[in-house]
Amino acid sequence: LRAMLARQRRDYTEAVAAAQAAQACVAARRSPLHVSLAHARTAVGLAHAGEVRAAVRCLGRAEDALAKADPAQPRSSWIAFYGPAELYSLTAIVRDVVGHPVQAEAAAHRALAALPAGYRRNRAHTTARLALAQLHQGDAEQACATSGRVFKTMEGMELPGRVRMLLGDFQRDLIARSPVLAHQWMDRYRTHWSSS
């Protein structure tokens, strides 16, 4: 939790330190599921800190540990969310941040395929991440279409803060890459943005 909160504050040094501390805790030493999550969160912090190789290595460790976890084993409620879909989603974040948008797009697609239907916020967040990966590959039109699915997914619900932040990142990157498309996108989704 500390790692995630630090990352949201953009304090990546603290995020990495908290995630590494989680790797050393008793639960992580006993549970491949816990150690996988700790490695995945470390990877996200390292990616944001510009440590590309270390981030990719941590992703590999997270995948290896998750493969050893028993999906039938009972879980605490605080870690019930974690599994292949969440790891794919975190992989999409890491890969995009370190400049591997093709791998980020593939991971986002895998996350969306694995997410349970009721996880609307996670689906919206991963869809926004997919749009960013497509934009970072230079496919601005596809990225705009994909980002529109975020609003459809969250229809009737308020956009979560993390999703709003991600769409803000998308908008800024779109303005830098294609100002005309960016203005069209903003005009099209202005109502959705302000009403959610």
> Residues 59-83: pLDDT tens digits?
999 999 999 988 778 777 778 889 9
On whether the CB atoms of residues 107 and 143 are closer than 8 A, the answer is no
Using pLDDT thresholds of 50, 70 and 90, give the confidence band for residue 180.
very high
195, pLDDT greater than 80: no
- Contact present, 29 and 58 (Cβ < 8 Å): no
Q: What would the mean pLDDT of 145-173 be, rounded to a whole number? A: 93
pLDDT, tens digit (0-9, with 9 covering 90-100), for 83-127: 999 999 999 999 999 999 999 999 999 999 999 888 999 999 999
pLDDT digits (tens, 9 = 90+) for 15-56: 556 555 555 554 555 689 988 998 998 899 899 989 999 999
What does the pLDDT read at residue 27?
53
Q: How far apart are CA 180 and CA 175, in angstroms?
A: 8
So what's the pLDDT on residue 26? 45
pLDDT of residue 193: 65
The lowest-confidence range among 81-85, 121-125, 132-136, 189-193 is 189-193
